[in-house]
């Protein structure tokens, strides 16, 4: 170890319902234009909830040759597309020796769900099914597949693994990578999250939880009816701030702090205390005072329980300053991308700092007495933002919060 380092974000990549790269994704968010619509990849006849935030106009053959595609579940495809964007923007070359000192950490909630569902359909399907499986089923479905493919794509031979902590997976992956670079255990990291589980089986399982909205995602709004499933991936390139400056890199934002807690309470119900504690730890880790935060990208799922609990947690953390915060949930536009959520929302938070624009909470209809903060309803807001938080609060009570600083 060589002491503590400040950490720069020098590359971002994203593929999600509002856009298949960062410029199109961010332009859509600033316009309040979402990607939620009728499900296209799953037959509707047995679905009760028929909307989702799917990645549209994505042709895997444009990104991968046939031999490579045989190895890749959809979640790994998304990961590599986002990673290529992020690495290209960063300008780093990991094959020059840097790869030995670079980490590759990707979060996902479920891994290769398309592969799993295809395999079980083949095995248990009509006419007695088939006992034969595709030989590459296991390498495609494993949760660590995406992180492994990132290492092979870029020649990264440092620490690499997957993180799975439900809807906090990406923030945990980003936070662990951040701490590696900050502590000197790595010079750089390619990190983020990916999810691709809009399948028939997954949709039916989420329907059974009774948390999906039938019409739209309306976080913090009166009349909200639940969350909307999404898919996609986002990847960030992190490196030491001083090295990024020395090589003349364009720095998007500084990743300043990370905090994580476990509620140790309920498998599905959120905790105000656990969420607040994670935010406080992220602030402390980043050397930030609560009043320095201008924007919070909220977990904001659109469920009754999450949004009210997160509002109370924000008040607990920020006190009187909570009333001055701009808080928005971009899930209103890209849906809840589960294990990818923190990474997709890191893109929104980092770009908010870079461009001085707080993205809106779309589909907001009317105030809810239990949610009484400034949620930037429906229209983006120009504002100089010095620092921001990005929240992820997962089933199982696993909380992960990132703190960012403008540069």
Active site residues: 167, 299, 336
Handedness of CA 35, 153, 104, 93 (dihedral sign): negative
Q: What would the DSSP string read from start to end of 268-291? A: SS--HHHHHHHHHHHHHHTT--GG
Ramachandran sector of residue 155 (left: φ over 0; alpha: ψ -120 to 50; beta: rest): left
Q: How far apart are CA 262 and CA 279, in angstroms?
A: 12
Q: How far apart are CA 93 and CA 87, in angstroms?
A: 8
Q: Which residue has the tokens 């974000």?
A: 9
H or E segment to which residue 404 belongs: strand 398-405
For residue 145, give both structure tokens: 């597949």
Q: How far apart are CA 125 and CA 344, in angstroms?
A: 35
For residue 392, give both structure tokens: 């992820």
* Contacts for 56 with CB less than 8 Å, ≥ 6 apart: 17, 35, 40
Q: What would the DSSP string read from start to end of 293-348? A: --EEE----S-HHHHHHHHHHHHHHHGGGGGG-EEE-THHHH-B-GGGHHHHHHHH
Which of these, 32, 40, 44, 38, lies nearest to 57 by C-alpha position?
40
Q: How far apart are CA 337 and CA 197, in angstroms?
A: 9
Q: Are strands 188-195 and 326-328 parallel, antiparallel or unpaired?
A: unpaired
340 in Cβ contact with 233 (< 8 Å): yes
Q: What would the DSSP string read from start to end of 6-41? A: -EEEEEEEEEETTBSSHHHHHHHHHTT----EE-SS
Which of these, 23, 74, 27, 24, lies nearest to 231 by C-alpha position?
74
153 in Cβ contact with 84 (< 8 Å): yes
């Amino acid at each position: 170890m060589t002491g503590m380092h400040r950490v720069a974000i020098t590359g971002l990549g994203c593929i999600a319902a509002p856009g298949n790269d960062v410029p199109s994704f961010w332009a859509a968010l600033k316009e309040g234009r979402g990607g939620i619509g009728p499900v296209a990849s799953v037959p509707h006849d047995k679905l009760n909830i028929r909307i989702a935030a799917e990645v549209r106009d994505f042709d895997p053959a444009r990104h991968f040759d046939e031999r490579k595609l045989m190895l890749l579940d959809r979640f790994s495809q998304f990961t590599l597309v986002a990673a290529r964007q992020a690495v290209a923007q960063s300008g780093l070359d990991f094959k020059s020796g840097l790869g030995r000192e670079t980490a590759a950490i990707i979060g996902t909630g479920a891994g290769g769900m398309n592969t799993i569902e295809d395999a079980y359909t083949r095995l248990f399907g009509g006419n007695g099914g088939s006992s034969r499986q595709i030989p590459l089923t296991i390498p495609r479905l494993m949760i660590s597949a995406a992180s492994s493919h990132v290492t092979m794509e870029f020649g990264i031979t440092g620490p690499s693994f997957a993180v799975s902590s439900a809807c906090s997976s990406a923030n945990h992956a980003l936070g662990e990578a951040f701490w590696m670079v900050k502590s000197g255990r790595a010079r750089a990291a390619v990190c983020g999250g990916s999810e691709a589980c809009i399948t028939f089986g997954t949709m039916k399982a989420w329907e059974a939880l009774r948390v999906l909205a039938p019409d739209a995602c309306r976080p913090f709004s009166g009349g909200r009816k639940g969350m909307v499933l999404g898919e996609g991936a986002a990847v960030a390139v992190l490196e030491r701030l001083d090295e990024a400056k020395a090589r003349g890199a364009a720095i998007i934002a500084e990743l300043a702090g990370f905090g994580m807690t476990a509620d140790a309470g309920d498998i599905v119900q959120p905790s105000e205390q656990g969420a607040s504690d994670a935010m406080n730890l992220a602030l402390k880790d980043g050397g930030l005072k609560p009043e320095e935060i201008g924007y919070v990208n909220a977990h904001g799922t659109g469920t009754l329980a999450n949004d009210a609990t997160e509002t109370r947690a924000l008040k607990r953390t920020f006190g009187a300053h909570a009333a001055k915060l701009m808080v928005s949930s971009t899930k209103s536009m890209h849906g809840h991308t589960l294990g990818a959520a923190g990474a997709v929302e890191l893109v929104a938070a980092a770009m908010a700092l870079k461009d001085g624009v707080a993205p809106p909470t779309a589909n907001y209809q009317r105030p809810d007495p239990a949610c009484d903060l400034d949620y930037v309803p429906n229209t983006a807001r120009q504002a100089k933002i010095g620092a921001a938080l990005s929240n992820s609060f997962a089933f199982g009570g696993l909380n992960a919060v990132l703190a960012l600083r403008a540069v």
